[in-house]
Structure 1
């Protein structure tokens, strides 16, 4: 045997062995897989049986719950049916009661209809009797029905008018007693708690000099110095025979103050010529403007008013150099502010707003451009422009009744303005307007029938009216007093109040000879 045969035989043996091994392994795997499959089938049958049992238990549980819900729902339905039957029974009973009551109402209605028919018959009979009586009375009195009605209505109207005037007088007197008591108390307390000096402002200032020689230097060569000073300040400078004094005349107090301060500086310095005058006047105006701003700021601090716009603060400072009927405007505004604060505190209102409105109520009198508007309306527009609250703006605009008052601070400002201006000596009234007002008062009273004479006394605060006793009785005198006072109140402008007194007297005079 050669080596090749050995190798071939070995290879064939190995191949046969491999085939035998493969066949054996396949047989073993097949038997093993069959056993595993049998085990899996057995386990699946067990799981299937468990799931069927669980499903049956779940089904029984769900069935029991469903039956429980059905039984509960049936009980609820039965309960609702019982309630419905009870309500139906109750409604049937009420319906029976209503039917019985309807029958009773029908019976009552029939009775009422019968009674109304009887009443109508009675009314017709009464109307016939009334017409018969009217005809008989007309025949007896000799008057027609319309004439009798007219006379009766006139008599009733006169009687009603007299009774109404008496009733009105009683109501007015009672209202004055009750209302004026508290009002007077508050006003008197406010006046007592404010002490303000009163000083009349003039339209001229007197500048004192050490000697009359200074007058010539102020006038200058051919009057050039005084002309330059008048042109720069807008003030009329009067140099006359008054010893050691020069008069500065101007309605604008700011210009007068500029002229006075400029003259003082020029006289102190000694250099007086047109160029120097212009320079000093310009510096004086600047310093006075700063002083005005400082005065406004100091006034606000003194009164406890915060957050005021700088433009309004400057106007408050300008009030120092403005007068109203001779009364210093800043002093008047400070007094009004204090009075407003006191009244507002007594009435339980906003004290800060009232004080603010009182201080600003006359700012319309001090703008530099001075447009042609009432000072109250102008002041209101300035306050609105500079961010003041609506209550303050309304109080400024309404303190002379130019616009309608919309809050309680407005009448307080109006009253306090009148209190400050009506103080004795506070204001200087022009003689012509005073005489005109007095004549208007007397003429108003003379326009009524039965008035003989009228006299305005106590500086126009009282009107005495003399009437004829034959034409005016006591009741008509009361009526005249009321009507005249209302006419004065509605048609005239006056400070404070006017008392109207109607005097009726009967004099019997005989002479023994």
Structure 2
């Protein structure tokens, strides 16, 4: 039984193995079939995709071919165009060369004809010249026969007659010159006498026209003069003051009729010497700063004067005019000191007479403001009328304006302040030696010299220096050329000669300077 069971078990085991193998075989065949089907599908899809890629590549290749073909055709067209243009230029050059050759041929033919014409004319000229020589010789022979003189003898007689004529003409010219000199001798003598008198200045004139600038040592003079005199020229051009550097020990003389200019030059020199840097650019900078400082000082002097006199409500322009009086002289008398003195006298006299002393002081201080330089005024207007117009312009009362205008009887007096101002003005100027009329006319002549120069176009600055012996004119280089500068000097001298009366001579110097300035930043 046990053996049967074992056999049965073995048989069942064998059958199970067989069944398992059969099942595995079926599964393997199924897997193989599926794999084959999938492989076939993959191959089919690969073939389809390959066909698509092939078509795309063929299409791209066609497009690339067409693009290359278009570019090639474009290059060929450009080359053909360039070739056609080159051919056209070549044809033009050929036609031009042929035209020039034809023109040259024609000119050669004309030249040959001209040469032939010149040769024929030359032969004709030589023929006529020979005939003329024969005719001249025959005429000379006939003249010698008629006159009984040879050609050399005739020449000598002609020269003798010309010498006699020249001698008589020279003697008549000398006689006329001597007579003219006799006629003008007295006039020239008078000019010399006037010139001599003019050179002898009074002490008052020296004080009002010259300032002395003291130095620590004479070594500073060389620095002020500068290399080839450039510093002193720059200083004179900037200030309009003549700077005299002579043998006077430790001193330099500043000469100018305008005391404001002289003060600007003095202060500028003081600053330059103190600072030590003396060169043209620095000089111009210092002079501009000093001019501004003087303007501020003028205003300060005016304010201080009206405060000292107890005058209130004065217009700023009138205060500035009062300040400028410090640098102005009237007949050799300082204008500010004179005006202050007149104002005080007017106040005292008005108080004694029962008139408003403040109003009288105001009129006394302002009575000579017409003498302060004013660019808006005409030179011919009397200073009293000019001062009155200026006071009216800046809001002064009618009584004050009338007193200013009437203090020299140019207009009618309308109130008691006017005669008070007139009397006090006479009292202030009546002191012995208070006034000198020569100085005022001298300063006016110098101003007239400068005004004549400003009447010409292109004049930038004009300074009367050397006591009116020289007029130095600085012109704009952009508007006046070198040739025009020479003409301008002559025209100004002629204008001075015809319009002014002056002793001696006036030298007119026109200066034209060209500058190139750049700024490094």
Smaller-chain TM-score range? 0.3 to 0.5
TM-score, normalising length: structure 2: 0.44
TM-score, normalising length: structure 1: 0.45
